[in-house]
Amino acid sequence: MPLREIITIPHETLKRKARPVTSVDSKLQELIDDMVETMRAAPGVGLAAPQIDVPLSLIVVEFGDEEDEEAPKKLFTLLNPEITRPSTEILTGMEGCLSIPGFVADVDRHDSVVVKALNRRGQPVKVKASGWLARIFQHEVDHVNGILMTDIATKIYRLEDLEDDEEHNTDEDL
């Protein structure tokens, strides 16, 4: 399972809506395995096929319990994912993106969502998610729709500026 190159802005594939997955075959299974390994090696918590220059509506997400970091992580593979039931509650949170290295952004997201998709065997699934996991799903579904976090951010930060601010913070500054 080779690692795939993660493309970065301004690569044009990142801004295009991905094609639906229409066939679940061995080639797709290899792509999914490559995406999981690439996501883990990056390291990241989610990866969409357009981020490796494959314009398919396919995402992988791996996430563990927020309260119990020792708990095993759960891997989600979703073909043709769509958000079907977003909550009315919107929260602002800081996000990063493997395709936008060196930056993070404040992004408004629904606190909980239901994601409808197909699993890696092509069977229909629904995933209910809240909190950080809901944010990850929304971020990755945006990728397959050609939307980047910087397109919808309320504020964008350079990581090096945040690190500089932390170095200059002392107890007297707090």
What are the catalytic residues?
140
Amino acid code (one letter) for 92: T
Q: How many angstroms separate the Cα of 69 from the Cα of each of 34, 35, 130?
A: 25, 23, 17
DSSP 74-138: EEEEEEEEEE----S-EEEEEEE-TTSTTEEEEEEEESEEEEEEE-TTS-EEEEEEEHHHHHHHH
What tokens appear for 155 in the block?
């504020």
Could you say which DSSP state residue 19 is in?
Answer: B
Contact between 51 and 63 under an 8 Å Cβ cutoff? The reply is no
Sign of CA dihedral 58, 32, 51, 149: positive
Q: Which of 17, 5, 9 is nearest to 105 (CA)?
A: 9
